[in-house]
Structure 1
Amino acid sequence: METNYLILLDYSVGEIIKIRLTEQEKAESESYEDFEEFIRTLEKKYGFRLSDCSWMSCEVLSERSY
C-alpha cells in the first residue's frame, strides 16, 4: 500500500487534519524505519502536535459525514 494521505485526529482541540502527502514527502517517508518518526517531522509544517493526536495513513481517502 502506498501512503498518499495522513489523517490525524487532534483530540486536544477536536480537529480532523487531512494531509495529502506530496511526492517529496512520500519519498522522504521511505527513508524512515518508523513512519511515526516521519510524521513528527511534519508537526511544524502542518501545525499539530503528534502527542495530542491519533493518526492513520491510507492510499485512497474516503469520507462519510452524518
Structure 2
Amino acid sequence: MATDSAGIWMPEIPTDRRVEQAVENPKGYFRAARRRARAEILEEIAAEQRRHTGRRKNGSRWLLRDQPGLPTP
C-alpha cells in the first residue's frame, strides 16, 4: 500500500517504461510515438510498392509489364 503526499491511499500500479517516459516528458514521448507510427506506415507503403514493382493494374488483376501484346503504361 502506498500513499500520496496528502496521505490518500493509492494502489501500486505497475508501469512500464513508456508510461514513465510519457509522464516525465509528455511532449517528447508523443513526438517519438508519432515518429514511430509514421515510420511504420511508410514501411507498409514501401512493402506494398515492392510487392507490385514491375506490374500494373488491369481491373482487379496485376499484370507484368513485359507481357507481349499488352500496351505499356
Choose between structure 1 and 2: higher strand proportion: 1
* Bin of the TM-score, shorter chain as denominator length: under 0.3
| Structure having the larger proportion of residues in helix | 2
TM (normalized to structure 2)? 0.22
